């Protein structure tokens, strides 16, 4: 490191030594008078001129504070306040009191409640805008204005703490302070780090049943330069903390606000979701001027910059407003005409005026919620974070405004669509417990109607149990009403396009409500298109996820680890990392107490043994009582659905099951019905993710999933037991097609020779 690179840390070290040696201090009150440990964590503020609380019979006795001499009354349904320009708003006597509300101010890093909110200049009277009767108390006369004190020092004799702890402590102390007044509306004001303390606190409160009422009764947040994604000047504090380590500095709070760190991004995303869900008004103020730390010791501009830039100070769901000041003065105003105070006070007054409307809207928005999911959360669920997060970004009813969005998890049978959906909706339920979740299977018309009837009973729909009730129409109409609240409807196994769009046409009974959202799980890409849903393609697991899934549950890990590790990897490859097949194999290993090596030997010994293993019946979470659990038979339903739509598609499936699973040239498939019929037939197989298309040179080829091939052969054998002759017929067809297209004696087409030879060998093995 060269001299120039060393200059900045050395300069900062000099500043630190000057600052703490007493040569440079900013004016403030003595630390001994203001340390949080010497006082109550929450201070009640009164205007500097004494006034008696207003007596009003409209105030319910149950909401009276035990210390009436310390508290002023407030309301959350005020009469119209005068315009901002008016110097004196209406007096409390002119308003009808309904219920008090509180404003709680939380200071920033290295600050305290006494001087954090106080403007002071040498030779002039100091002004505390939370307390001065011409400032905030004059704007919202019936509010209790509180200051929150907490340990935020990081430099000398600092506590070992973190943002999570500060947030939890904030909520607990307010909870204890308010005692039996939990329904008193709250407006938070946070400066700098104090805003993060509020953010972390509200998120934690929303996750805890005891404190979840904070979400309902927090009616506004004012953030003054809050570093939601960190500060670019955080490195200054880190360097200073390093040089002050002997004096008891702590890096916990400082380290958390590094610019654009992932933790802050995740918290901000969660907070944005909370503000949307809670209809929470948020106003974010950012600094327009640089903060010049160097000026204090006579070296201006050297250590200057925006502590929190506009981007970092913003919550996307709130207002974003500038203040004509630097970071240190965002929370200090010289008087009632200070332009910054006028702007901040205007936002507080607007929140104050809208409290009654907001609480009314929330009562409508947060209607009685219902969780109607037939499956519990899967304790053995592993991986799939990407797919779960994609769902969490889309399925909340308010994730996309002005519509009832439709989302579809689509993929091969057994790929884990339902498991991903279950995990996502339970995570969503914990994030948003006020949203109802309804689950409907679309396996049959009867199953769909039974689930709708259960929903109707939960919603107490009149006439739902009458013999002649049009259950599906009644539930659709109920879910389309605004007073039903917010909901997520999960339609599982929406595979059969005939069932969805012909005959009873279940799709006609899907509700539309801007407070609703619909999630489908389906194997059929055509269904996704017809349902006009946004598709999320679910793929098989990666190697790491597949290995974890195999070893989950009660399986003895010695059966798959150690000397069996290579066989385990081969087993997962044979099962193509498909979750349902992996759970099936895990159950077989566990019940028979055999290692993966022996399983692979059985699997590869013969076609019959492979079919036997893939037909193994087992219990698993997220499967219906009458559903086929074995990976082989789970595809039989899809085969029958395709057969009802396009017999040529099923013929292609049968023929391809006798060939190699890759590079099946298009010319091998018979096309007597014409090119269009062939294209549509293969399209139906591709819609179920059974086959995929790729081009090799000038040739169009198809790959077919290995387990689908095995299932198709097993299906033909089952049909032959009922009098059919599918096995003989299609094995002969496959042989005839290879004979017809084999490029003999054209030796120039070596690529075709190689490819077709693989199909011939496979046909000889299984045919």
Structure tokens at 629: 């659990």
Q: Is 405 helix (H, G, I), strand (E, B) or coil?
A: coil
Kindly state the tokens that stand for 755: 């490819």
Are residues 54 and 97 in contact, defined by beta-carbon separation less than 8 angstroms? yes
- Kindly report the CA angle at 185 between 92 and 138, in degrees rounded to 5? 35
Read off the pTM.
0.64
Per-residue pLDDT of 1-21, as tens digits, reads: 444 444 444 445 445 444 443
Residue 697, pLDDT score: 80
Using one digit for the tens of pLDDT, what is the confidence trace for 555-566?
Answer: 888 888 888 889
pLDDT interval class at 251 (50, 70, 90): low
Q: Is the pLDDT of residue 32 over 60?
A: no
Cα–Cα distance measured from residue 320 to residue 223, given in angstroms and rounded to the nearest whole number? 10
The pLDDT-based confidence of 243 (bands split at 50, 70, 90) is: low
Q: Determine how many CB atoms are found less than 10 A away from the CB of residue 708.
A: 27
* pLDDT, mean of residues 69-91: 30
Average pLDDT over residues 663-672: 86
Residue-wise pLDDT tens digits, 458-495: 999 999 999 899 999 999 999 998 778 889 999 999 99
Of 57-71, 103-117, 376-390, give the lowest mean pLDDT range: 57-71
Res. 743: pLDDT tops 90: no
- How many CB atoms are closer than 10 A to CB 237? 21
Q: Is 105 left (phi over 0), alpha (psi -120 to 50) or beta?
A: beta
Q: Each residue of 712-742: pLDDT tens digit?
A: 999 999 999 988 899 999 999 999 988 888 7
Supply the angle between the helices 726-741 and 647-656 in degrees, to the nearest 10: 80
* Residues 340 and 288 sit within 8 Å (Cβ to Cβ): no
Check residues 238 and 671 and name the one with the higher pLDDT: 671
Residue 5 pLDDT: 43
Whole-number pLDDT of residue 416 = 94
Displacement of CA 487 from its chain's centroid (Å):
16
Could you give the CA distance from residue 481 to residue 476 in angstroms, rounded to a whole number? 9
pLDDT tens track for 199-233 = 999 999 988 888 988 998 999 999 999 999 888 76
371-537 fold:
Rossmann fold (3.40.50)
Phi-psi region of 268 (alpha: psi -120 to 50; beta: other; left: phi over 0): alpha
Residue 41 host element (H or E): none
What pLDDT shows up at residue 72?
30
* Distances from the Cα of 677 to the Cα of 645, 649, 671, 674, angstroms: 12, 9, 8, 6
Longest CA–CA span in the chain (Å) reads: 109
Q: What pLDDT, on a 0 to 100 scale, did the predictor assign at position 745?
A: 61
Strands 487-492 and 436-441: parallel
Average pLDDT of the chain to the nearest whole number: 81
- What is the per-residue pLDDT for 639? 94
Tokens of 375: 């499956």
- The bridge status of strand 406-410 relative to strand 516-522 is parallel
pLDDT tens, residue by residue, 83-134:
222 222 334 443 444 447 899 999 988 777 778 899 988 888 899 999 999 9
- Taking only the tens place, the pLDDT of each residue in 147-169 is 998 876 555 555 667 788 889 99
pLDDT of residue 560: 87
**Cβ atoms within 10 Å of 11's Cβ, excluding its own:** 16
Name which of 155, 160, 209, 144 is nearest 12 in CA terms: 155
- Give residue-wise pLDDT tens across range 429-454: 988 888 899 999 999 999 999 999 99
pLDDT score, position 14: 46
pLDDT of residue 621: 74
- pLDDT over threshold 50, residue 26: no
Specify the 3-state DSSP secondary structure of 292: strand
Share of the chain above pLDDT 90, in %: 51
Q: What fold does the segment set 635-766 form as a domain?
A: Arc Repressor Mutant, subunit A (1.10.10)
pLDDT of residue 561: 83
Q: Which residue has the tokens 């299906």?
A: 715
Burial 505-539 (b: 16+ CB within 10 A, else e): ebbebbbebbbbbbbbbbbbbbbbeebebebbebe
Distance between CA atoms of 408 and 520, rounded to whole angstroms?
Answer: 4
Residue spans per domain, the chain: 3-45+74-80+94-111+140-364, 371-537, 543-614, 635-766
Task: Find the mean pLDDT for residues 142-150.
Answer: 88
Q: Measured between alpha carbons, how far is 527 from 450 in angstroms, rounded to an integer?
A: 22
**pLDDT at position 252 over 80:** no
Q: Which residues have a Cβ under 8 Å from the Cβ of 667 and sit 6 or more positions away?
A: 699, 741
Are 105 and 147 in contact, with CB atoms under 8 Å apart?
Answer: yes
Please give the structure tokens belonging to residue 208.
Answer: 């805890």
Q: How far apart are the first and last CA of the chain?
A: 72
Regarding the domain with residue range 3-45+74-80+94-111+140-364, which homologous superfamily does it belong to in the CATH classification? Answer: Alpha/Beta hydrolase fold, catalytic domain (3.40.50.1820)
What is the model's pLDDT at position 31? 37
Q: Do domains 3-45+74-80+94-111+140-364 and 371-537 have the same CATH topology?
A: yes
Q: For the chain, how many residues are written?
A: 767
Predicted pLDDT at 260: 73
Number of CB atoms found within 10 A of residue 656's CB: 26
Residues 6+ apart with CB under 8 A from 659: 668, 704, 734, 759, 762, 763
Token digits of residue 186: 């709250």
């Amino acid at each position: 490191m060269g001299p120039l690179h060393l200059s900045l840390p050395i300069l900062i070290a000099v500043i630190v030594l000057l600052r703490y040696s007493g040569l440079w201090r900013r004016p403030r009150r003595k630390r001994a008078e203001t340390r949080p440990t010497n006082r109550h964590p929450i201070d009640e503020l009164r205007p500097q001129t004494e006034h008696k609380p207003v007596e009003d019979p409209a105030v319910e006795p149950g909401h009276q504070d035990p210390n009436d001499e310390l508290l002023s009354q407030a309301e959350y349904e005020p009469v119209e306040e005068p315009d901002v320009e008016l110097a004196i708003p209406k007096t409390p006597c002119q308003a009808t009191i309904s219920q008090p509300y509180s404003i709680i101010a939380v200071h920033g890093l290295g600050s305290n409640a006494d001087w954090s909110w106080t403007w002071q200049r040498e030779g002039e009277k100091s002004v505390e805008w939370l307390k001065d009767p011409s400032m905030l108390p004059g704007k919202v006369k019936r509010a209790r204005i509180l200051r929150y004190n907490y340990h935020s020092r990081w430099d000398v004799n600092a506590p070992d703490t973190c943002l999570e702890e500060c947030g939890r402590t904030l909520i607990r102390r307010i909870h204890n302070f308010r005692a039996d007044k939990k329904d008193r509306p709250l407006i938070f004001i946070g400066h700098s780090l104090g805003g993060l303390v509020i953010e972390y606190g509200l998120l934690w409160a929303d996750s805890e049943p005891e404190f979840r009422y904070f979400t309902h009764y927090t009616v506004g947040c004012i953030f003054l330069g809050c570093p939601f994604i960190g500060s670019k000047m955080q490195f200054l504090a880190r360097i200073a903390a390093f040089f002050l380590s002997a004096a008891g500095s702590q890096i916990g709070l400082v380290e958390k606000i590094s610019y654009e760190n992932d933790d802050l991004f995740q918290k901000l995303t969660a907070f944005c979701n909370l503000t949307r869900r809670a209809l929470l008004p948020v106003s974010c103020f950012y600094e327009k001027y640089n903060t010049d730390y160097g000026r204090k010791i006579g070296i201006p501009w050297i250590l200057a910059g925006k502590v929190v830039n506009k981007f970092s100070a913003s919550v996307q769901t709130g207002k974003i407003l500038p203040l004509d000041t630097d970071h240190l003065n965002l929370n200090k105003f010289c008087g009632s005409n200070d332009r910054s105070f006028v702007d901040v006070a205007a936002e507080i007054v607007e929140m104050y005026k809208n409290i009654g409307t907001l609480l009314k809207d929330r009562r409508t928005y947060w209607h009685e919620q219902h969780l109607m999911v037939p499956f519990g959360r899967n304790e053995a669920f592993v991986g799939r974070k990407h797919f779960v997060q994609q769902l969490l970004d889309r399925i909340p009813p308010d994730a996309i405004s002005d519509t009832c969005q439709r989302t579809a998890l689509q993929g091969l049978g057994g790929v884990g669509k339902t498991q991903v959906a279950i995990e996502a909706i339970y995570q969503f339920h914990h994030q948003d417990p006020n949203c109802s979740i309804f689950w409907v299977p679309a396996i049959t018309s009867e199953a769909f109607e039974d689930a709708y009837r259960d929903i109707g009973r939960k919603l107490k729909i009149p006439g739902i149990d009458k013999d002649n009730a049009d259950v599906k129409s009644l539930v659709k109409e109920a879910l389309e009403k605004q007073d039903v609240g917010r909901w997520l409807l999960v339609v599982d196994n929406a595979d059969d396009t005939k069932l969805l769009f012909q005959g009873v046409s279940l799709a006609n009974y899907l509700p539309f409500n801007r407070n609703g959202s619909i999630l489908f799980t389906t194997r059929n890409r055509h269904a996704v298109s017809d349902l006009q849903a946004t598709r999320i393609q679910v793929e098989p697991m990666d190697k790491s996820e597949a290995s974890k899934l195999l070893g989950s549950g009660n399986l003895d890990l010695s059966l798959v680890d150690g000397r069996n590790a290579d066989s385990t990897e081969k087993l997962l490859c044979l099962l193509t990392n498909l979750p349902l097949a992996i759970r099936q194999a895990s159950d077989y290993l566990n019940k028979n107490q055999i290692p993966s090596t022996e399983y692979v030997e059985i699997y590869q010994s013969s076609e019959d043994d492979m079919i036997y293993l893939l037909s193994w019946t087992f219990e698993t979470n997220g499967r219906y009582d009458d559903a086929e659990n074995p990976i082989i038979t789970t595809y039989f339903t899809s085969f029958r659905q395709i057969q009802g739509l396009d017999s040529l598609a099923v013929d292609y499936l049968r023929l391809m099951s006798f060939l190699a699973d890759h590079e099946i040239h298009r010319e091998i498939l018979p096309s007597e019905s014409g090119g269009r019929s062939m294209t549509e037939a293969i399209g139906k197989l591709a819609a179920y993710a059974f086959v995929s298309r790729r081009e090799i040179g000038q040739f169009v080829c198809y790959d077919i999933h290995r387990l689908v091939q095995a299932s198709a052969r097993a299906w033909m054998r089952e049909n032959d037991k009922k009098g059919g002759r599918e096995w003989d017929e299609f094995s002969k067809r496959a042989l005839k097609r290879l004979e017809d297209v084999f490029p003999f004696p054209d030796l120039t087409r070596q690529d075709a020779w190689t490819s077709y030879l693989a199909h011939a060998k496979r046909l000889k093995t299984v045919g």
